[in-house]
């Protein structure tokens, strides 16, 4: 999912940071009713794995 979001971000020239997009995504996941453990897993992925793939400040 993260790779799809990042490729779409590059194509559409969105002026948001990856952190802002991730916060919006987590909020969306909460709204649609995903379980707490699923959201925790997504937060761990962001914190530990995604930073190795992309620069989170851009």
| pLDDT tens, residue by residue, 27-58 | 999 999 999 999 999 999 888 888 777 776 65
**How many domains would you assign to the chain?**
1
Tokens found for residue 50: 């995604």
Residue 24 located in a structural domain: yes
Could you report how far apart the first and last alpha carbons of the chain are, in Å?
Answer: 18
For residue 22, how many other CB atoms are within 10 A of its CB?
A: 20
pTM of the complete model beyond 0.85: no
The 3-state DSSP class for residue 10 equals helix
Residue 12 located in a structural domain: yes
- Which tops the pLDDT comparison, 35 or 3? 35
Residue 48 located in a structural domain: yes
Tell me the mean pLDDT in the region 2-28.
75
Residue 58 located in a structural domain: no
Residue 35 located in a structural domain: yes
Contacts of 2 (CB under 8 A, 6+ apart): 45, 50, 53
Domain of 16 in residue numbering reads as 2-53
């Amino acid at each position: 999912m993260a790779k799809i979001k990042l490729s779409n971000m590059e194509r559409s020239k969105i002026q948001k940071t990856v952190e802002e997009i991730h916060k919006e995504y987590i909020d969306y996941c909460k709204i649609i009713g995903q379980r707490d453990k699923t959201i925790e897993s997504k937060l761990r992925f962001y914190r530990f794995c995604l930073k190795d793939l992309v620069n989170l400040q851009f």
